[in-house]
Chains A and B, each alone.
Chain A
């Protein structure tokens, strides 16, 4: 079967949405062009910005890093790319996936920074699960990871630790693979000291930049179209109007102390991401998290997958619907303020991150996070 685009070469796949048959080079071209279109139309990047690519070691972030580097060069975005990884301290899972990040990093050479829960919060997910069990642990992980990524991106804006700066970046590429391990306490301590110094400078909370030249740092994550469609359904099923209203924008505004975030792959089908990674022979880690339970998202995913078999367009159509939903008047949308403890963006007096950690420190049983919790906090 011939490629539908060039009609010369042999087709190697069919696109999930259109069913069009494509050869390898044509597939690369259309996939990359579509990501480029998402970047340009969504105005995701501005020249000179620092872009931290959230790198988990999985298929989406592997593809994201590869494509953004390619497009940055070829299409001249003129942004400074680097990788930002988070080590939640899940043995047997995260250490393996971070090894995949390191291997890919050897390939494309972007600077890499790894932040660990141990250094940031004094807790690993393994320890958290030991304390609170397996229900609600994903909530902790997600909230703490968001905080870690935020911090890492902010620091990218303040310090020049991409491309040239290997001094700040104590876990830069080549070192990270050889130095990781329990023996390397000295290195961890140096990193922890650096973190504390950086934290001190932000202790008055919310200040985004040091004096001097302003550097904008934006976080790019590998969320794909399937993820976005699941999120829409998830929020509908849970009645989380606030989250839906916040929108599924290409780039968040980044006011009031939170870093701008964007999702360059948000219109790319998961199937195509996997096939791109396969045909480009990208190295990624493909196992479920040790603690992944029957997360609620799984139900949304099952439904989307079933619907996709009948009508492949459902993935993008659901996302489109979600992007165009608006709350009616009278719906309570939490207002944006700052946390009194750490200064990051929060809709309550103490942000979820701080209150979760407080609970852990006091040995409190798992706290359920939901709308009820938010309402309770407001009355305190």
Chain B
């Protein structure tokens, strides 16, 4: 249902215990990322978001988990 709010879980992972945030969110992945960039990123937003990429139109659903994992480091 478009327009209704859903509970979302945003995880930040990468080898350690992930940080969790629960969100009330509506709409698409694109909206979520815009919100994150505006409200959560304090420094160097280009590390997270770079231009356009696929699957931005995905509509977030109830109890979805969005997971961010860094690859900006050596293996």
The answer to whether A274 touches B53 (Cβ under 8 A) is: no
Interface string of B40-75 (1 = CB under 8 A from A): 000000000001011100000000000101111111
Counting CB contacts under 8 A, is A284 at the interface?
A: yes
Assuming the A-B contacts A309-B51, A309-B53, are A277 and B71 also in contact, with contact meaning beta carbons closer than 8 angstroms in the complex? Answer: no
The answer to whether A273 touches B75 (Cβ under 8 A) is: yes
- Partner pick for B71 among A62, A222, A274, A309, CB 8 A cutoff: A274
Counting CB contacts under 8 A, is A89 at the interface?
A: no
Most chain B beta carbons < 10 A, residue from A62, A227, A285, A289: A285
A296 to chain B, nearest CB (A): 15
| Chain B positions within 8 Å of A284 at CB level | 14-15
| Chain A positions within 8 Å of B71 at CB level | 59, 270-271, 274
The answer to whether A222 touches B72 (Cβ under 8 A) is: no
The answer to whether A288 touches B73 (Cβ under 8 A) is: yes
Most chain B beta carbons < 10 A, residue from A61, A278, A289: A278
The answer to whether A56 touches B13 (Cβ under 8 A) is: no
List the B residue with the shortest CB-CB distance to A265: B75
Report the Cα distance A222→B74, complex, angstroms. 10
Assuming the A-B contacts A278-B69, A309-B51, A309-B53, are A283 and B75 also in contact, with contact meaning beta carbons closer than 8 angstroms in the complex? Answer: no
The answer to whether A275 touches B75 (Cβ under 8 A) is: no
List the A residue with the shortest CB-CB distance to B75: A60
Counting CB contacts under 8 A, is A211 at the interface?
A: no
Assuming the A-B contacts A59-B15, A59-B75, A277-B15, are A286 and B53 also in contact, with contact meaning beta carbons closer than 8 angstroms in the complex? Answer: no
The answer to whether A287 touches B73 (Cβ under 8 A) is: yes
| Chain B 1-48 interface residues, beta-carbon cutoff 8 Å to A | 13-16
Counting CB contacts under 8 A, is A26 at the interface?
A: no
Chain B: residues with CB nearer than 8 A to chain A?
Answer: 13-16, 51, 53-55, 67, 69-75
Chain A: residues with CB nearer than 8 A to chain B?
Answer: 14, 56, 58-62, 100, 222-224, 227, 270-271, 273-275, 277-278, 282-289, 292, 309
Query: Other than the known A56-B75, A283-B15, A286-B14, what 6 A-B pairs have Cβ atoms closer than 8 Å?
Result: A223-B75, A282-B15, A285-B15, A286-B16, A286-B70, A309-B53
